[in-house]
Amino acid sequence: NSVWVSTDHDEIEKVAKQFGAQVHRRSPEVSQDSSTSLEAIREFLNHHHEVDIVGNIQATSPCLHPSDLIKVADLIQKEGFDSVFSVVRRHQFRWSEVKKGENKMTEPQNLNPAKRYRRQDWPGELYENGSFYFAKRHLIEKGYLQGGKMAYYEMRAEHSVDIDIDIDWPIAEQRVLSFGYFGKEPLKEVKLLVCSIDGCLTNGRIYVTEDQKEMVSYDYRDLVGIDLLKKRGIQVRLISDRDCSKTLSAMQLGCIAKVSATNKLQVLEGWQKDIGLSWKEVAYLGNEESDVECLKKAGMSGVPADACAVAQKAAGYICKSSGGCGAIREFAEHIFLLLEKVNSARKQ
């Protein structure tokens, strides 16, 4: 019936409201590092007596789909369960832990080593994946998120992403691109990539010779990335707010370019309209304040790792590579993953 974000952070509140959520301002008492989700939910309920059922959706599980939540709500509202939580099926053999200094052997927990199952012959086990916990008010008021008449909801493995430590981030990013939920609007293929020259195609440095000639450096991997994009039918265009036409001519990239662009967004809008594309079909790679509005408009947006802070904030994807050091190639791979998602959706 309503979607709420519980936070004590001004910026999170602003973003939540931009996307249509209502905001509950957490008190300092339940905003500590040691605070639990249950404490925050109980505080919320104290302010919202009209709420009978709470679906606690974990922000660390970014592959959750609305269809799963609808089915879970039905389990509580129509089938009479008091609490429902998400699980995923794992095929992992467990062994007892032997702590350092203990003089004993490890023991199998869920297998017979003499008769090991093949993965395809073993049904596996159910593990909580932390995606969501639904519970009725009376349980939560007693201090439980799981209790009463309980049920689990088994999620698909590809949707079960749980971010706990830093190494989980790149895994989650790839999984979201392949299996994430992208809203009701149909996905569109990227048909145009516009790339800022200085700081993306190059590292932003300009070398000046004794005879006052300018030189820049670029990464061959980025040229390969541009070539791969073209082979996939994606146009690549370049833009710069300075006059670097001689440099572009020397590179022989074969891309349409606009230099001395005082208003990059105006140029981008002109290209978008001339080609007849929706914004979802346009990707943009930038790195400076002059790129921010373009990053916000484009359906896919990225910045190199060394982009300025405001550009990073506006972008949907931050490359691990710096400008002039493979960022275009990396962003191209990011686009290809999205295209795989589009093709997969069409087949379904």
Instruction: Summarize pLDDT for 227-282 with one digit per residue, the tens.
Output: 999 999 999 999 988 887 777 776 778 888 898 988 999 999 999 999 999 998 99
Q: DSSP letters of 283-337?
A: EEE--SGGGHHHHHHSSEEEE-TT--HHHHHH-SEE-SSPTTTTHHHHHHHHHHH
Which of 274, 248, 272 lies closest to 260 in space, CA to CA?
Answer: 248
Question: Residue 93 — very low, low, confident or very high, per pLDDT cuts 50/70/90?
Answer: very high
SS3 277: coil
What distances in angstroms separate CA 235 from CA 188, 268, 284, one per listed residue?
Answer: 15, 13, 12
User: CA–CA distance from 160 to each of 65, 72, 156, 316 (Å)?
Assistant: 10, 16, 7, 22
d(CA 147, CA 85): 10
Positions marked catalytic: 116
Helix ranges (H only) for 48-104 are 66-77
- Paired strand residues for 88: 127
Q: Kindly list the distances between the CA atom of residue 198 and the CA atoms of 42, 238, 240, in Å, as whole numbers in the listed order.
A: 51, 10, 7
Domains of the chain, CATH where assigned = 52-90+123-165 (no CATH), 192-346 (3.40.50.1000)
Find the distance separating the first CA and the last CA of the chain, reported in whole Å: 29
- pTM value? 0.66
268: exposed, middle or buried (Cβ count in 10 Å: 0-12, 13-18, 19+): buried
Return the percentage of the chain with pLDDT > 70, whole number.
96
10 Å Cβ neighbour count for 6? 18
**Three-state SS at 101:** coil
pLDDT per residue over 176-189, tens digit each?
Answer: 877 888 776 666 78
205 vs 233, more confident:
233
